[in-house]
């Protein structure tokens, strides 16, 4: 046989590429279903865009940079009602407290449930406990908190009157409840991420003579950083968006009101508002007469939550590929 | 099989010749163990009657290891998951200076036996054992399990680098007490040890320009060599390889096989493989296991060319497996 030159690819004229499948060839029923799916998808996008745009259009007359730096001032005239600096700060404080507690606790619980889960009965109990928490409506949580934190034992969390009665309302108390609200989301996401890690990753570390604790700290948790971040951002979104706990635990006053004492602690033990309670209070639904500012605040709130959602999407996409090059980011 | 087993509508195939008889595996009690008179005996020595096919030929130039020292000893070991005894009464020596291959069909217990050598079987719930395994004369259960696994290191079937940089993958294995990732103080000693381990695994020249690259960006063969480097970093006495090439292409496989042969000088190597040719290429001694029993143990040439047991003969000739 004559020796022939081995080609890297078949001769150009002989290559055939299959054409993309077209829906025209589908049966009628399939085409109908396809169309219905299309319409529902488009409809969903329209509803989402409508909400955001409506808030923008309604609030745009009031939306300006001054809103972000002025404190709210209760007034019947919208012009004199100030901005929403205090609610912005309040949202930030509440989120920081909630996530600051829920993130480490949630990661800890998820790690224990996935990697240890001994004794079995305790793990099962914890699991159903988390599920119960996930199902508790936030208004129920808020009422529970109001009763609990008004006890003398928790007087360090909030302001008390001279007579010794504890108000139970404060950023600290509300933040604790927010942590409870965000906890199931964080536990769920982190657990899912840990379960997705192949067992060979753990075995590889054990086979190098590493303990379970070292493996978790230096291999497993770093590997699921996108999962942890995703869970935290989900929890943040939940906290930022919640109204019931804020209205019950912080009251109706839009301004920050310190409880006295050292500056930061005074604010934390004091009351105030967040963007959600501001929107509620200033909208026609509440007692406020500044609907345009409520719309503007609602728009800002939406933007914050949307930005967080986009962040979750990006982070979880990185996770599902399983090949996040997180070392490159350092 | 009778004709009733066939569907009546199907045309009955005309047999021009009777089908070959299915050979039954002879069940007998005691394994055939051929202990070499002296270490290294038989390796590299041409055996009469051996087929000269190049695919089966071991590299003829491979000299026997300079000195052979027994590191581990498996004594009448039984291993079970739950009530299922998957390894039955196996005794074997593991020596530095030679490569021991465990061969056998799926379910023969060879991987379980391998994993028991560094007590990795213990992470499976319901694992049970009987018998004794020693490392340098001491029972492996007398060691702290982490200490044992640093001495008896393991490489797995699937390359499993950690999602870290190449340097950190090896450094992780090295660090007595893992340092913080951020601003890791890299002592010259650790840096040198990482480079040494990468060199021993034959990977250094390919990755030297950037050790900070993610290990997940490496090719499959490179990842597996990185896993070998990681396993070597803690200076183990025994290296366990669980089908290290089964997920790799022939070129990567050849590189790793050369590496395995080179490594036997400094560590005792035990390799589990499905690939008989690979066992013949790399192993000095071969242990054939079947359904949990050790059927035959001896120098590679003998097990492959002149097996004593009928079952070994059937397996290496391809009658089952």
Higher pLDDT among residues B109 and A7, named by residue = B109
For residue B297, the distance in angstroms to the closest alpha carbon of chain A comes to 26
- Average confidence score pLDDT of chain B: 81
Percentage of the residues of chain A whose pLDDT score is greater than 70: 91
Mean pLDDT of chain A: 85
In chain B, residues with a C-beta closer than 8 Å to the C-beta of A218 are 172, 178, 181
What residues contact B76, with CB distance under 8 A and at least 6 apart? B89, B90, B91, B130, B131, B132
Contact A209 B147 (CB under 8 A): yes
pLDDT average, residue stretch A98-124: 94
Q: Which of A232, A227, A222 minimizes the C-alpha distance to A308?
A: A232
Q: Which of A207, A211, A326 would best serve as a mutation to test chain B binding (most B beta carbons within 10 A)?
A: A207
C-alpha span between B238 and B269 (Å, rounded)? 6
Q: What is the pLDDT of residues B166-221, one digit of tens each?
A: 998 998 888 755 444 444 556 778 888 899 999 988 899 999 988 888 898 899 99
Is the model more confident about A309 or about A187? A187
Mean pLDDT score, A55-59: 82
Tell me which residues of chain A, numbers 198 to 227, contact chain B at a CB-CB cutoff of 8 Å.
198, 200-201, 203-211, 214, 217-219, 222-223
Could you give phi then psi for residue B317, rounded to 5 degrees?
-90, 0
Q: Is B76:B89 a contact under the CB 8 Å cutoff?
A: yes
Q: Which pairing describes strands B138-139 and B238-242: parallel, antiparallel, or unpaired? A: unpaired
Please tell me the predicted confidence (pLDDT) of residue A292. 82
Measured CA distances, A194 to A107, A116, A213 (Å): 10, 12, 14
A165 vs A128, more confident: A128
CA-nearest residue to A211 within chain B is B146
The full set of domains in chain A, from first to last, is 51-323 (1.10.3720.10)
Which of these ranges, A129-138, A183-192, B304-313, has the smallest mean pLDDT? B304-313
Q: Which 159-198 residues of chain B touch chain A by CB within 8 A? A: 160-165, 168, 172-173, 178, 181-182
Q: List Cα–Cα distances, A9 to A4, A12, A14, in angstroms.
A: 14, 8, 10
Residue B298, min C-alpha distance to chain A (Å): 28
Q: What is the pLDDT of residue B18?
A: 59
Q: Is the pLDDT of residue B61 over 50?
A: no
- Other Cβ atoms less than 10 A from the Cβ of A200: the count is 14
CB-based contacts of B206, cutoff 8 Å, min separation 6: B222
Segment B96-150, tens digit of pLDDT:
999 999 999 988 999 999 999 999 998 888 889 999 999 999 999 999 998 999 9
Instruction: Name the residue among B168, B181, B234 with its Cβ closest to that of A208.
Output: B234
Which of A199, A204, A321 to probe the B interface (max B CBs under 10 A)?
Answer: A204
C-alpha distance from residue A221 to each of A107, A115, A218, B204 (Å): 9, 11, 7, 28
pLDDT classification of B62: cutoffs 50, 70, 90: low
CA B180 to chain centre: 34
CA dihedral A285, A291, A296, A299 (to 10 degrees): 30
Mean pLDDT, to the nearest integer, of A245-255? Answer: 84
Across the interface, whether the CB atoms of A200 and B227 are under 8 A apart is answered no
Residues of B in contact with A206 (CB under 8 A): 120, 123, 149
Residue B34 pairs in a beta bridge with none
d(CA A27, CA A30): 5
Say what the pTM is. 0.76
The pLDDT value given to residue A310: 86
Predicted local distance difference test score (pLDDT) of residue B242:
93
Q: Test B165 with A327 for CB contact under 8 angstroms.
A: yes
**pLDDT tops 60 at residue B48:** no
Helix (H, G, I), strand (E, B) or coil at B107: coil
Across-strand partners of B297?
A: B33, B287
Q: Do A203 and B178 touch (CB under 8 A)?
A: no
Nearest to A229 by CA among A117, A136, A310: A310
Terminal CA-CA length for chain A: 59
pLDDT(B4) > 50 = no
Task: Give the SS3 label for residue B295.
Answer: strand
Average pLDDT over residues A210-228: 89
Residue B52 clears pLDDT 70, i.e. is over it: no
Flag whether residue A328 sits within 8 Å of chain B, measured between CB atoms. Answer: yes
The span from the CA of B321 to the CA of B310, in Å, is 14
Give the ipTM: 0.76
Share of chain B above pLDDT 70, in %: 77
From chain B, pick out residues whose CB is under 8 angstroms from the CB of A211: 146
Confidence band, pLDDT 50/70/90 cuts, at residue B63: low
Range from A50-54, A75-79, B95-99 carrying the lowest mean pLDDT: A75-79
Pair B231, B239: CB distance under 8 Å? yes
Domain B95-122+143-316: which topology?
Rossmann fold (3.40.50)
> Is B231 in contact with A198 (Cβ distance < 8 A)?
no
Tell me the per-residue pLDDT of B15-36, one tens digit each, with 9 for 90 and over. Answer: 556 555 555 555 555 667 765 4
Delimit the domains of chain B by residue range.
95-122+143-316
Task: Give per-residue pLDDT as tens, B208-265.
Answer: 988 888 898 899 999 999 999 999 998 899 999 999 998 888 888 998 999 999 999 8
**Cβ burial B203-242 (10 Å sphere, 16+ → b, else e):** bbeebeeebebbbbbbeebbbbbbbbbbbbbbebbbbbbb
């Amino acid at each position: 046989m004559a020796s022939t030159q081995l080609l890297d690819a078949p001769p150009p004229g002989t290559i055939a590429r299959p054409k993309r499948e077209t829906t025209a060839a589908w049966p009628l029923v399939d085409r109908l279903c396809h169309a219905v799916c299309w319409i529902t998808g488009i409809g969903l996008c329209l509803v989402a865009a409508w909400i955001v745009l409506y808030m923008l259009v309604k609030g745009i007359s009031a939306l300006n940079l001054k809103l972000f730096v002025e404190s709210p001032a209760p007034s019947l005239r919208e012009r004199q009602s100030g901005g929403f600096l205090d609610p912005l700060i309040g949202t930030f404080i509440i989120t920081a407290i909630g996530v600051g507690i829920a993130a480490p606790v949630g990661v800890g619980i998820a790690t224990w449930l996935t990697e240890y889960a001994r004794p079995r009965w305790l793990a099962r109990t914890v699991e159903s406990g988390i599920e119960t928490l996930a199902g508790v409506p936030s208004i129920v949580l808020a009422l529970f908190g109001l009763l609990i934190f008004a006890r003398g034992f928790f007087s360090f969390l909030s302001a008390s009157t001279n007579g010794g009665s504890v108000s139970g309302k404060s950023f600290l108390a509300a933040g604790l409840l927010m942590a409870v609200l965000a906890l199931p989301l964080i536990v769920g996401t982190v657990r899912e991420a840990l379960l997705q890690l192949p067992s060979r990753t753990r075995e590889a570390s054990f086979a190098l003579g590493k303990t379970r604790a070292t493996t978790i700290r230096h291999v497993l948790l770093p590997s699921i950083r996108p999962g942890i971040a995703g869970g935290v951002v989900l929890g943040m979104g939940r906290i930022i968006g919640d109204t019931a706990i804020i209205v019950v635990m912080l009251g109706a006053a839009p301004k920050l009101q310190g409880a006295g004492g050292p500056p930061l602690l005074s604010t934390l033990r004091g009351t105030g508002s967040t963007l959600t309670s501001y929107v509620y209070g200033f909208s026609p639904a509440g007692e406020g007469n500044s609907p345009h500012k409520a719309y503007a605040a609602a728009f800002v709130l939406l933007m914050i939550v949307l930005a967080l959602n986009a962040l979750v999407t990006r982070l979880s996409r990185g996770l599902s590929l399983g090949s996040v090059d997180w070392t490159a980011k350092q | 099989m009778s004709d009733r087993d066939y569907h009546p509508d199907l045309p009955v195939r005309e047999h021009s010749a009777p089908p070959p008889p299915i050979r039954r595996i002879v069940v007998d009690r005691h394994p055939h163990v051929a202990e070499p008179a002296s270490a290294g005996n038989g390796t590299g020595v041409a055996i009469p009657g051996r087929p000269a096919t190049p695919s089966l030929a071991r590299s003829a130039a491979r000299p026997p290891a300079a000195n052979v020292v027994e590191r581990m000893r498996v004594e009448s070991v039984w291993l079970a998951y739950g009530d299922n005894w998957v390894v039955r009464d196996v005794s074997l020596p593991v020596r530095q200076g030679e490569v021991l291959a465990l061969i056998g069909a799926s379910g023969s217990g060879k991987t379980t036996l391998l994993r028991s050598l560094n007590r990795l079987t213990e992470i499976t719930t319901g694992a049970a054992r009987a018998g004794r395994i020693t490392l340098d004369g001491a029972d492996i259960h007398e060691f702290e399990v982490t200490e044992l696994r640093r001495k008896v290191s393991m490489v797995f079937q699937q390359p499993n680098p950690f999602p870290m940089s190449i340097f950190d993958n090896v450094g992780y294995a090295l660090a007595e007490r893992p340092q913080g990732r951020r601003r890791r103080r890299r002592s010259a000693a650790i840096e040198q040890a990482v480079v040494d381990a990468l060199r021993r695994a034959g990977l250094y020249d390919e990755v030297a320009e950037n050790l900070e690259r993610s290990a997940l960006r490496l090719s499959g063969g490179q990842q597996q060599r990185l896993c070998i480097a990681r396993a070597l970093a803690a200076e183990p006495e025994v290296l366990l390889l669980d089908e290290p090439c089964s997920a790799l292409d022939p070129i990567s496989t050849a590189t790793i096989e050369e590496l395995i042969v080179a490594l036997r000088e400094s560590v005792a190597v035990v390799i589990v493989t499905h690939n008989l040719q690979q066992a013949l290429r790399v192993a000095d001694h071969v242990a054939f296991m079947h359904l949990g029993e050790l059927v035959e143990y001896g120098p590679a040439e003998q097990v492959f060319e002149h097996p004593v047991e009928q079952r070994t003969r059937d397996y290496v000739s391809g009658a089952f497996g």
